[in-house]
Amino acid sequence: MLGLSKLDPRYLYGKKSRTSKAERQAKTAQARAAKASSTATSVMEFSHTQKENVGPTPSGSISSAQDRLDAVTARLEDQQRQRRKLQDSRRYFEMENRREIIRIRKVAADGRAARADKTQQNKQARAEKQARVVPILTVTEATHFSSLAMRAEGYMTVPRINEQLEWLYQHGVVCVPKELSKRGKGRSERLALWVQGVTEYVNSDRPRGPEVDLEPENEPGDEHDGEEEEIAIMNALDGNDNEEEEVSYDSDAEFYANE
């Protein structure tokens, strides 16, 4: 390019080319530096991302697995404790139920024993009472006493009729039933049954011996059935409907003297 004029295009082109090459080299160096910096940044970002995705180091993985194992073991132990607690509560309730059943059975047994003792005492008292009864065993006497008017000497009250009927029943008279409720309603029916029982006892060639069961099947109110009617009649005769006590007189003269 020596010997060329500065105005020659070839001269200008060659200079321009040399300037452009230097610039290109500088730009290339800058681009390389920028690329290297970008690559380094990308590598750092990729490494960080890989660490986040992959997780901890192998030693950290072992520690995490141990923690999970400990958590599972703790849950199993807690479930076992809950199961043992439930079993203990069931055993407790079963023991309480057994104690309650034993207590109820004991109360029932004590009640049965008390009722048996009371029944035995009632039988003994009834037997002793029957032993003190003086039976009327002739039809003539039975007819006579049954025909007496109220307040007359020897008048058969309902309790006396019950005693005579019980004595006849204990000595095997068939017409006298065991149940008190079946021995008649009121004084008149029981009085007729008593006369019938005395007649059967007298006419029987071989009366049965005393019954083993000395306790008839009593029902509430049967033992004193007919007494209220008798007391009401006596109170009406005395002119006092509210008087409950029976007034007794030693003789007919005293009775008529107080009328």
- Using only C-alpha atoms, the chain has a radius of gyration, in whole angstroms, of 62
Mean pLDDT by 10 residues, the chain (259 residues): 53 53 75 73 61 53 80 86 82 84 89 92 84 84 85 86 88 88 87 90 66 46 52 53 44 47
pLDDT at 220: 44
Chain position carrying tokens 């390019």: 1
Position 67 scores a pLDDT of 83
C-alpha pair distances (Å), 70 with each of 64, 65, 67, 74: 10, 9, 5, 6
pTM of the complete model: 0.39
Determine the pLDDT at residue 234.
54
- Return the pLDDT at 6: 52
Q: What integer pLDDT is reported at residue 254 of this predicted model? A: 47
Q: Tell me which long-range contacts 225-230 makes (C-beta under 8 A, separation of at least 24).
A: 225/158, 225/180, 225/181, 225/185, 225/186, 226/158, 226/185, 226/186, 226/187, 226/190, 227/157, 227/158, 227/159, 229/186, 229/187, 230/150, 230/157, 230/158, 230/187
